[in-house]
Amino acid sequence: MVIRMTERQSGLDRFYSVIPAGGIGSRLWPLSRADAPKFLHDLTGSGHTLLRDTWDRLAPLSGPGRIMVVTGRAHRAAVEAQLPELEDLNVVLESEGKDSSAAIGLAAAILLEREPNVIIGSFAADHVIGNTRRFKRAVIEAVAAADAGYIATLGISPTEPAIGFGYISCGEALTIDGAPSALSVVNFVEKPNLETARRYLSEGSYLWNAGMFIARADRLLDQMAESEPELVAGLRELAAAWDTPQRGAVVDRVWPGLPKIAIDYTVAEPAAAAGKLAVIPGDFDWDDVGDFASIAKLHSAGRNSDLAILGEGARVLADSSTGVVVSQSKRLISLIGVTNIVVVDTDDALLVTTTDNAQRVKAVVDALKLSGRNDVL
């Protein structure tokens, strides 16, 4: 699919997509794990992995030759198998995870070395987006805002008082050519409790923070350098060596010492505080598929009477049961009278919980780590 250029879209010809494909998705254990992270699974029943779906959304915007993937060395083969169009120069491999500031910042720095005016957009490899056309319209506005000098983000119009997401408190409308719906950002707020989430929903000026950032690469790095100058210095050093024979030596020397910090703290929040952040409200369906409750919800389309079944060749016999079953083992799974149940059946580990307890799955993973049970992590 190609976006028709009915009018000149400001900055889109300089746009580069960045997909940080990291993070295991601990709350989706034992489906997601070190050697099979969340982005390598089909959690929507689309027949494609989340990574592939992410690529397919971005390719019409930046072109397939302008999508960079930042991932761990261990996942290189799996990522390349999913994305045969991915060009070698667009693969950035991390020897160890350094969180999102380093991952996105390195991509920004490398692309900036190659193209001084590049605009980058960072989109997680493991989110689900329901209405691609609306997503694209929002990205095009965000690119225009980035071209105008803003650090732009997409905020999702909330459909329920979710407590699993952070929120963006929106301010007045901005006047940006090509970004008519852009708003200023008052601030970012952490995941609220239910009461607060309900208030956000009723007030109408809050959007979900989907963690998508679109900015000129130089502006993004400048913003990051204000709070993390050493990080950005390291990233620039890496970028300068990246397309040279010195890459390996510089990576070995610099990367291990970089601080681990989320981009929310180095870019999003300080940019908002400085009035440099613009948010484009997105009216598309979005979910970070953070836990099994969210998978159940995605598949049930809001109905409580449903049992979602994921897994190729799943064999499930269910009586009076609702929730979600993930089958990887090909075994027959029989459910009787269990509601809001979560059953995840893999070859070496089985999880049984309820959608209400879906957030607690991470604690199991932590307990397994502590007890040295890395064989199932």
Comparison of 114 and 373: residue with beta carbon closer to a copy of itself: 373
CA distance 42 to 126: 10
* Mode of pairing for the β-strands spanning 315-319 and 332-336: parallel
Among 44, 100, 153, 353, contact with a copy of itself (rule: CB under 8 A) = 353
Piece of the chain touching a copy of itself by CB under 8 A; list 12-20, 160-168, 218-226, 368-376:
368-376
Helices of type H across 115-216: 132-147, 194-203
**Site membership for a copy of itself, residue 356 (CB under 8 A):** yes
In whole angstroms, the minimum distance from the beta carbon of 376 to a copy of itself comes to 5
CA distances from 92 to 110, 155, 178, 235 (A): 9, 27, 31, 13
Is 368 a binding residue for a copy of itself by CB under 8 A? The answer is: yes
Stretch that binds a copy of itself, among 50-58, 64-72, 175-183, 362-370 (CB under 8 A): 362-370
Rounded to a whole number of angstroms, the minimum distance from the CB of residue 24 to a copy of itself is 16
Element (H, E) at 155: strand 151-156
Query: What is the DSSP-derived secondary structure letter of residue 348?
Result: S
Closest CA to 2 of 63, 48, 51: 63
When the beta carbons of 273 and 350 are compared against a copy of itself, the nearer one is 350
Choice between 50 and 344, CB closer to a copy of itself: 344
- Mask for 305-344, x = binds a copy of itself (CB under 8 A): ------------x-x-----------xxxxxxxx--x-x-
Least distance from a copy of itself to the Cβ atom of residue 43, Å = 19
Q: Does residue number 34 form part of the binding site for a copy of itself (CB under 8 A)?
A: no
Closer to a copy of itself by Cβ: residue 301 or 336 = 336
- Match 């667009």 to its residue by tokens: 90
C-alpha–C-alpha distance, residues 73 and 50, integer Å: 19
Q: Does 40 bind a copy of itself (CB under 8 A)?
A: no
Q: Is residue 114 within 8 Å of 217, Cβ to Cβ?
A: no
The answer to whether 258 and 233 have CB atoms below 8 angstroms apart is no
> Taking phi first (over 0 means left), then psi (-120 to 50 degrees means alpha), and beta for anything else, what does residue 369 get?
alpha
Handedness of CA 101, 237, 16, 57 (dihedral sign): negative
Rank residues 44 and 346 by Cβ distance to a copy of itself and give the closer one. 346
Which residues make up the interface to a copy of itself (CB under 8 A)? Answer: 30, 317, 319, 331-338, 341, 343, 345-354, 356-357, 360-361, 363-364, 367-368, 373, 376
